[in-house]
């Protein structure tokens, strides 16, 4: 089972909240990801904490993807995670 999503926000805290919401959706639709969702959130949190504050013309982004292979919901045979965070140009109003 795998997933991929991207979110943006005005601050790292906002992006962190959106990542948490997206992970909840992933777990609801793919219960196997209960196994890795906390690790993915913690990795995202750690990376976001490395960033400076965004400039006025920037937004923060996080692109997250992962996969779990398992025969049951209690343990994994294989887990993969990719988290990218950074800044992008804020949309013009």
Contact status, residue 44 vs residue 20, Cβ threshold 8 Å = no
CA dist 51 and 67 (Å) reads: 26
CA dist 84 and 72 (Å) reads: 29
Boundaries of domain holding 75: 2-89
Q: Sheet harboring 78-89: ordered strands across?
A: 2-9, 58-69, 78-89
pLDDT at residue 2, rounded to an integer: 93
Number of domains in the chain: 1
Contact status, residue 27 vs residue 33, Cβ threshold 8 Å = yes
pLDDT at residue 7, rounded to an integer: 98
* Residue-wise pLDDT tens digits, 37-87: 999 999 999 999 999 999 999 999 999 999 988 776 677 888 999 999 999
What pTM was computed for the model? 0.91
């Amino acid at each position: 089972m795998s997933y991929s999503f991207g979110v943006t926000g005005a601050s790292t805290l906002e992006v962190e909240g959106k990542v948490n919401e997206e992970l909840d959706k992933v777990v609801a639709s793919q219960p196997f990801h209960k196994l890795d969702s906390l690790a993915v959130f913690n990795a995202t949190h750690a990376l976001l904490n490395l960033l400076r504050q965004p400039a006025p013309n920037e937004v923060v982004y996080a692109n997250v993807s992962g996969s779990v292979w398992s025969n049951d919901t209690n343990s994994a045979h294989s887990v993969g995670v990719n988290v990218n965070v950074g800044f992008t140009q804020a949309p013009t109003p």
